[in-house]
A = this chain, B = another copy of it.
Amino acid sequence: MSFTNDRFLRALTNQPLDRPPLWMMRQAGRYLPEYLATRERAGSFLNLCKTPELACEVTLQPIARFGFDAAILFSDILTIPDAMGLGLSFNEGEGPRFANPIRTLDAIEQLGIPDPQQELRYVMDAVKLIKHELAASIPLIGFAGSPWTLASYMIEGGGSKDFINSKALLYAQPEAMHRLLDKLTQAVSLYLNAQIDAGVDVVMLFDSWGGMLPTNSFQAFSLATMKKVIDQLKPTVPVIVFTKGGGMWLNDLNNIGATALGIDWQTDLAYARACLPNTCLQGNLDPTVLFTNPRVVRDTTLAMLQAQGANQQYIANLGHGILPKTPLKNVDAFVQTVQEFRY
Contacts and interface: CB of A to CB of B under 8 A. Distances in A.
> How many copies of this chain does one complex carry?
2
Nearest to A169: B292
A207 interface: no
Interface in A252-298: 265-268, 271, 286-289, 291-293, 296
B323 A268 contact: no
Contacts of A168: 288-289, 291-292
A268 B215 CA distance: 5
Nearest to A326: B164
Interface in A40-81: none
B163 A288 contact: yes
A267 B271 CA distance: 18
B167 A288 contact: yes
A67 to B, nearest CB: 25
A171 B300 contact: yes
A287 B162 CA distance: 9
Contacts of A248: 247-248, 266-267, 271
A172 interface: yes
Contacts of A163: 288
B288 A162 contact: yes
A211 interface: yes
Nearest to A163: B288
Contact of A214 (B165, B172, B268, B292): B268
Interface string A194-223: 000000000000000001111110000000
Contact of A211 (B171, B266, B296): B266
Interface in A113-133: none
Nearest to A264: B214
B323 A288 contact: no
A212 B245 CA distance: 10
Given A214-B265, A248-B267, 15 more contacts: A162-B323, A163-B288, A164-B291, A167-B286, A168-B289, A168-B291, A171-B288, A171-B296, A171-B300, A212-B266, A214-B267, A215-B266, A215-B267, A215-B268, A248-B266
Interface of A: 162-165, 167-168, 171-172, 211-216, 245, 247-248, 265-268, 271, 286-289, 291-293, 296, 300, 319, 323
6 contacts: A162-B323, A164-B323, A167-B286, A168-B289, A214-B265, A245-B245
